[in-house]
Copies of this chain bind each other. A is one copy, B any other.
């Protein structure tokens, strides 16, 4: 393609509302343009990338035996009423009335529609399992659309839904989808992690998120240095320390700590590590009473873990100053477990502390040298209530945890019978009886993958596309071609030969300064660039540089195609 026929829409200015680098670069490189809050036009360069991503997703879904369908964007409310989501779904669900006053919504997902399809098309266990997917536009009326297409209102998603007779069959398709996702993100050239997303009611492997690792990611992910274990930090289990609790060597003493409330202040004031301090938090319990949560001073409470516990109010709510005063007789900052008459839940790590410091339930006073079983009763209720930290043992027993940030681009989920039961999607089983199907669902945010790829792959000059997503493989840049017939002829000839060799080339035939060409091509992130100049031609040489290189390489003109084949493994 020639830039004269495929105009670039690069711009110099970074839009003021673009907070993250992918948003900035997608605008600057001319991939998208904002139409309204959370609504984007995709420009020609962006569409090429979008189609490359779609192509890979489609191929791998087909390879995994999924069947492509296409369901409407506009969905009738009746089916959502059947599933119960018409009432449950908040204002993220965009609703509209047709000319006859009937209610519809714009699909944020398609569970209702696919369940309707399946209950009509699938009559017998013999037709199962089956896995339908589509690549379709979705709409979610986000309260605050932001980060460009990373969190837009209209977006493109690949969503798949599988139907089964039993959990075993579901698990098989789930595993197959897990592998397909692995293949997709690998082919896309992304550094990603499948992350255990839920260890809850359904079972061990009921849900995985696929995250593209990037510093700007919204989610923190804990993964093992040794094994495949990875989980959202919120969901990663913190194991109990394996070493036995240290001996009680210090005496219990009461120390004045005037005005020292936070763990940081206490540890600094008493010149001890924060790990030596016990943190006591009062939260609301199931009834009007309060509950104490006890943690090591250097650990953070994990709200999600805590609010799942019996006796703790959900959502997690901190006790008020008045409640603290009534329960502990002091201000927050001086609470401690000694003589505290409320139910206590002790974190696994806190239960292993010895000779620790805690509040004395008296303003401006702490205890030091505190020991469980000596100065207060042994903990009766020990739970995992903290956030994991870097260096924690991996929950699978292999290696320790590293924490990285990730962007969720895919999610696979064992739905069970939530929709099929509500909508009575049943089939005849082997005994001729009706049986509700069990379901899985599998999503990939196609537009989001592109933003995530940029978050992970860029430098200060622009995007660095992985090969599979690059809108063009090779940029062919003749320097001041319009001043030299010889150069023009050589460039045209090389363009022809590159195309014949099967390369997807962007031939910059604009009458612009070399520096302008370079910065455009770096901004839009073409993986390989070839520069032709009059001087080089004198010696039969061209300059080659990969987008990831910092220097040019002189390559003989007659070897450049062979060189490209080598570096692209084509």
Contact = CB atoms under 8 A, between A and B. Distances in A.
Interface residues of A, number: 52
Nearest to A110: B41
Contact of A33 (B33, B41, B120, B141): B120
Interface string A64-104: 01011111111110100000000000011011101100001
A9 interface: yes
A119 to B, nearest CB: 11
A192 interface: no
Interface string A153-194: 110000000000000000000000000000000000000000
Interface string A30-66: 0001011001111110111010000000000000010
Contacts of A73: 73, 106, 137, 139, 154
A33 B119 CA distance: 12
Contacts of A120: 33
A72 B40 contact: yes
Nearest to A5: B65
Q: Summarize A's interface: helix, strand, loop or mixed.
A: mixed
A39 B117 contact: no
A278 B187 CA distance: 76
A397 interface: no
Contacts of A106: 73-74, 96
A99 B96 CA distance: 12
A74 B153 CA distance: 9
Contacts of A121: 9, 33, 43
Counting chain B CB atoms within 10 Å of each CB, which of A5, A47, A70 scores highest?
Answer: A70
A41 B70 contact: yes
B72 A44 contact: no
A113 interface: yes
Contacts of A143: 99
A153 B76 CA distance: 13
A130 interface: yes
B7 A41 contact: no
Contact of A69 (B47, B74, B76, B104): B47
Contacts of A559: none
Nearest to A447: B70
A116 interface: yes
A331 to B, nearest CB: 40
A121 B41 CA distance: 12
B141 A98 contact: yes
Given A7-B127, A65-B5, A35 B154 contact: no
A466 to B, nearest CB: 21
Contacts of A139: 73-74
Given A94-B98, A98-B94, A117-B41, A71 B35 contact: yes
A518 interface: no
A35 B141 contact: no
Given A47-B69, A47-B70, A76 B5 contact: no
A67 B40 contact: no
A69 B42 contact: yes
A5 B130 CA distance: 9
Nearest to A105: B96
A540 to B, nearest CB: 34
B72 A154 contact: yes
Contacts of A50: 70
A6 interface: yes
A161 to B, nearest CB: 12
Contacts of A41: 69-72, 113, 117
A96 B78 CA distance: 18
Contacts of A141: 98-99
Interface in A111-134: 113, 116-117, 120-121, 127, 130, 132
A69 B91 CA distance: 30
Nearest to A50: B70
Contacts of A68: 44, 47-48
Given A72-B154, A96-B94, A130-B7, A117 B33 contact: yes
A266 to B, nearest CB: 45
Contacts of A137: 73, 137
Interface string A269-284: 0000000000000000
Given A98-B141, A99-B91, A141-B98, A44 B69 contact: yes
Contacts of A127: 7
Given A36-B78, A44-B68, A137-B137, 14 more contacts: A5-B65, A6-B67, A33-B117, A35-B76, A35-B116, A39-B74, A40-B72, A41-B69, A41-B71, A42-B71, A43-B69, A44-B132, A73-B137, A94-B96
| 10 A-B pairs closest in CB distance | A96-B96, A42-B70, A91-B99, A36-B76, A44-B67, A39-B72, A72-B154, A47-B68, A99-B141, A41-B71
16 contacts: A6-B67, A33-B117, A35-B71, A35-B76, A36-B104, A41-B71, A42-B69, A42-B71, A43-B69, A44-B132, A46-B70, A48-B68, A73-B106, A74-B106, A91-B99, A99-B143
